[in-house]
Amino acid sequence: MNKAILASFTILCLLSILFLTEYKISAKAGTDVIYVPTDYPTIQEAINHANSGDTIFVYNGTYYEHVVINKSISLIGEDRHSTIIDGGGTGSVISITANNVSIKGFTIRKSGTSSYNSGIFIDRSTGNDISHNTITNNNYGISLYYSSNNLVSDNTITNNYDGIILYYSGNNVFSRNKITDNDCGILLFDSSRNVIFHNNFVNNIQQAYSYSSINVWDNGKEGNYWSDYTGVDLYSNSYQNETGWDGIGDIPYKKIEENNIDNYPLMGMFSVFNVALERETYYVTTICNSTISEFRFEIGSETGNKIIRFNATGKDSTVGFCRVAIPTELMNYPYIVLVDMEEIVPIRLDVSNETYVYTYFTYIHSSHAITIISSKTLYLYNELLDKHVKLQMDLYDLNALYYDFLKNYSILLGNYSQLQESYSELNHSYQEHLSDYSKNVHNIRNLMYIFAATTAIFIITTIYLSKHAHANKTKVFAETPKKAHALTYTR
**pLDDT digit string (tens) for 207-232?**
999 999 999 999 999 999 999 999 99
Nearest-10 Cα torsion for 420, 423, 429, 432: -80
**Most confidently modeled range among 176-180, 449-453, 464-468:** 176-180
Report yes or no: 127 and 149 within 8 Å, Cβ to Cβ. yes
Tell how strand 342-344 and strand 347-348 pair up.
unpaired
Residue 5: the pLDDT is 46
The model's confidence at residue 393, banded by pLDDT at 50, 70 and 90, is confident
The answer to whether residue 31 scores a pLDDT higher than 80 is: no
CA 483 to chain centre: 142
**Most confidently modeled range among 65-74, 297-306, 479-488:** 65-74
Of the listed ranges 60-64, 342-346, 429-433, the least confidently predicted one is 429-433
3-state secondary structure string across 15-62: HHHHHHCCCCCCCCCCCCEEEECCCCCCHHHHHHHCCCCCEEEECCEE
Residue 214: the pLDDT is 97
Which of 149, 213, 131 shows the shortest CA–CA distance to 10?
Answer: 149
Q: Give the whole-number percent of the chain exceeding pLDDT 70.
A: 86
Residue 467: the pLDDT is 76
Residue 477: the pLDDT is 54
Of the listed ranges 1-15, 126-140, 465-479, the least confidently predicted one is 1-15
Which of 190, 228, 209 shows the shortest CA–CA distance to 140?
Answer: 209
The answer to whether residue 359 scores a pLDDT higher than 50 is: yes
Is residue 429 classed as helix, strand or coil in its secondary structure? Answer: helix
Comparison of pLDDT for 151 and 243, the residue scoring more: 151
Strand segments (E) across 216-355: 225-226, 253-257, 260-262, 269-277, 280-288, 291-299, 306-313, 319-327, 336-339, 342-344, 347-348
Q: Which helix (H) or strand (E) element contains residue 196?
A: strand 195-197
Of the listed ranges 153-167, 243-257, 263-277, 469-483, the least confidently predicted one is 469-483
Residue 399: the pLDDT is 83
Residue 434: the pLDDT is 80
Of the listed ranges 68-82, 131-145, 365-379, 459-473, the least confidently predicted one is 459-473
| pTM higher than 0.85 | no
Q: How much is the mean pLDDT over the chain?
A: 87
The answer to whether residue 23 scores a pLDDT higher than 50 is: no
The answer to whether residue 479 scores a pLDDT higher than 60 is: no
Residue 354: the pLDDT is 94
Q: Which helix (H) or strand (E) element contains residue 129?
A: strand 129-131
Please tell me the distance from the alpha carbon of residue 232 to that of residue 244, in angstroms, as a whole number. Answer: 10
The answer to whether residue 365 scores a pLDDT higher than 90 is: yes
Average pLDDT over residues 21-36: 60
Please tell me the distance from the alpha carbon of residue 144 to that of residue 128, in angstroms, as a whole number. Answer: 11
Which of 345, 349, 362, 131 shows the shortest CA–CA distance to 221?
Answer: 349
Of the listed ranges 19-28, 155-164, 218-227, 466-475, the least confidently predicted one is 19-28
Render pLDDT for 242-253 as a digit per residue (tens, 0 to 9). Answer: 567 899 999 999
Residue 54: the pLDDT is 97
The model's confidence at residue 395, banded by pLDDT at 50, 70 and 90, is confident
The answer to whether residue 116 scores a pLDDT higher than 50 is: yes
The answer to whether residue 403 scores a pLDDT higher than 60 is: yes
Residue 152: the pLDDT is 98
The model's confidence at residue 255, banded by pLDDT at 50, 70 and 90, is very high
